């Protein structure tokens, strides 16, 4: 699957994983929480870049966002 639909699914998966296994999981040591936060931050940056590219393309061709 490619395109916006794949991005939507990727965002949903990211959010689910962040809520279940992210840095706010109860009982984590601070170091582990920080490592998880860094990993999720990097993953978020990749998703954000894809979103920005799709958004720019939609604007370029006059498509609804």
Q: What is the pLDDT of residue 34?
A: 96
Q: Where are the domains of the chain?
A: 4-60
Name the residue with tokens 């061709």. 61
d(CA 32, CA 11): 23
Q: What confidence score (pLDDT) does residue 1 get?
A: 57
Give residue 45's pLDDT.
98
User: In this structure, what are the phi and psi dihedrals at residue 38, rounded to the nearest 5 degrees?
Assistant: -65, -45
Q: Tens digit of pLDDT per residue, the chain (65 long)?
A: 578 899 999 999 999 999 999 999 889 999 999 999 999 999 999 999 999 999 999 999 998 88
């Amino acid at each position: 699957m490619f395109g916006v639909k794949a991005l939507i699914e990727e965002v949903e998966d990211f959010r689910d994983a962040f809520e279940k296994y992210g840095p706010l999981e109860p009982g984590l040591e601070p170091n582990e929480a920080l490592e998880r936060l860094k990993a999720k931050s990097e993953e978020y940056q990749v998703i954000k870049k894809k979103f920005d590219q799709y958004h720019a393309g939609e604007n370029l061709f006059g498509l609804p966002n």
